């Protein structure tokens, strides 16, 4: 698609450059793009600016970094594992910060379909749905912020 992709990733434990290069090398269809990005991963870049991409890696606990982030997202993918394994990532304060840093009509998706997560996203201002999952996952959660908080 034409245009600029602005991608921000909040990572408490970022993947090492070696692991990133190794993971990308497993996808033959990504060979050209992966070789372009390898130079950035090797030097530990946390920001990449290309004509069609602005990538930013924010290191640290999302509970601390999302609330003070200076950005606004059109789309979120929350990959914090299940609330049973990682309850810290699904707390009201963090999900409220996600809502605060979302543009009007921002979308959100996460592999977790836990009711507690859906309720907390609703509390944060999202219209939430349990959707068909991806791959082996039976259900997942999708949401839309209809009015920016």
Model confidence at 27, in pLDDT bands (50, 70, 90)? very high
pLDDT at residue 148, as a whole number: 52
Q: Cα separation of 79 and 12, whole Å?
A: 12
Q: What is the mean pLDDT of residues 12-39?
A: 94
Question: Is the pLDDT reported for residue 135 higher than 90?
Answer: no
Q: What phi and psi values does residue 15 have, to the nearest 5 degrees?
A: -65, 140
Q: What is the mean pLDDT of residues 107-136?
A: 94
Among 127, 63, 130, 129, CA closest to 98:
63
Pair 80, 106: CB distance under 8 Å: no
DSSP 61-74: -HHHHHHH----EE
Q: What is the mean pLDDT of residues 30-35?
A: 93
pLDDT at residue 146, as a whole number: 81
For residue 70, count other CB atoms closer than 10 A to its CB.
5
Question: Is the pLDDT reported for residue 34 higher than 70?
Answer: yes
pLDDT at residue 137, as a whole number: 87
Q: Cα separation of 95 and 125, whole Å?
A: 9
Among 2, 1, 6, CA closest to 103:
6
Model confidence at 66, in pLDDT bands (50, 70, 90)? very high
Q: What is the mean pLDDT of residues 93-111?
A: 96
């Amino acid at each position: 698609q034409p245009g600029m992709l602005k991608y921000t990733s909040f990572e408490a434990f970022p993947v090492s450059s070696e692991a990133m290069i190794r993971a990308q090398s497993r996808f033959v269809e990504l060979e050209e793009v992966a070789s372009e990005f390898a130079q950035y991963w090797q030097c530990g870049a946390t920001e990449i600016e290309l004509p069609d991409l602005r990538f930013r890696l924010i290191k640290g606990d999302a509970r601390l970094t999302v609330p003070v982030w200076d950005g606004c997202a059109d789309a979120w993918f929350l990959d914090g594992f299940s609330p049973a394994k990682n309850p810290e990532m699904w707390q009201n304060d963090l999900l409220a910060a996600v809502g605060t840093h979302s543009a009007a009509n921002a979308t959100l998706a996460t592999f977790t379909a836990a009711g507690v997560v859906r309720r907390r996203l609703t509390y944060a201002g999202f219209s939430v749905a349990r959707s068909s999952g991806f791959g082996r996952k039976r259900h997942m959660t999708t949401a839309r912020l209809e009015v920016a908080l």
